[in-house]
Amino acid sequence: MAEYIESLQRLAEQFGRLQGIGKKNAMKMAFSVLDMTDEDAAAFAQAIIEAKEKIHLCPICQNLTDRDICPICDDETRDRKTVCIVSDARVVISMEKVREYKGLYHVLHGVISPMNGTTPDKLKIKELLERINEGEIEEAIVATNPTVEGEATAMYISRLLKNFDIKVTRLAYGVPMGSDLEYADEVTLYRALEGRRDL
């Protein structure tokens, strides 16, 4: 496909390496770049370089940031007694969109998955324990995904946190808003029943 325009092919391959992008879409995107002005294409390339250069981990919460300390950790108005433990930076963005949570975060950068070689020491668990050891945190909300690996990670962390005098909670399980109970899977329905609340 387009083998005869080498630089186009190369660009399409680059797009194809991005998560979730198939061959056809990659080629579409490469053509999009050709439709750009020279300045726009240069700005695009620059944005890639800059993002890689500037973005690093916040030394406190391990979230991605392009400042010394991320704006969340740096925000004095936030509740510094609560920390929400998430598997990766994407979840922080989702949580922030809710605009309800006012505490801090801790990004693990993965979940325990022996199959994929992700052992606990590869996650930012040591950094979490150090933070909690400082004594300011009173509640840790474990917000890993409700999957086998996410659950295992949550269990592992909650056991470690038992050594500290803090409250450890987990996000509620249940049926998602707007969903159709007819199509809900058994495990979710079971969890929703189990966690039922008074009206």
Q: Given the rule CB under 8 A, which residues bind a copy of itself?
A: 1-2, 4-8, 10-11, 13-14, 17-21, 25, 27-36, 38, 40-55, 64-66, 70-72, 89-90, 93, 96-97
Supply angle C-alpha 52, 130, 98, rounded to 5: 60
CA distance 88 to 108: 6
Nearer to a copy of itself by C-beta: 25 or 145?
25
Which of 109, 191 has the CB closer to a copy of itself?
109
- Read off the DSSP letter of residue 113: B
Q: How far is the CB of 192 from a copy of itself (least distance, A)?
A: 27
Shortest reach from residue 57's CB to a copy of itself, in Å: 11
**Closest separation in Å from C-beta 25 to a copy of itself:** 7
Closer of 109 and 170 to a copy of itself (Cβ)? 109
Burial class (CB in 10 A: 0-12, 13-18, 19+), 136: exposed
In the structure encoding, which two tokens stand for residue 82, read together?
A: 């609560």
- Residue with smaller CB distance to a copy of itself, 42 or 189: 42
Question: Which residues are CB-contacts of 27 (< 8 A; sequence separation ≥ 6)?
Answer: 1, 2, 12, 15
- Who contacts 22 (Cβ-Cβ below 8 Å, separation ≥6)? 16
Residue 154 to residue 111: CA distance in whole angstroms: 9
Q: How far is the CB of 103 from a copy of itself (least distance, A)?
A: 15
Distance of CA 182 to the CA centre of its chain: 30
User: Considering the complex, what minimum distance in angstroms separates the CB of residue 74 from a copy of itself?
Assistant: 10
Task: Please say which residue, 113 or 188, places its beta carbon nearer to a copy of itself.
Answer: 113
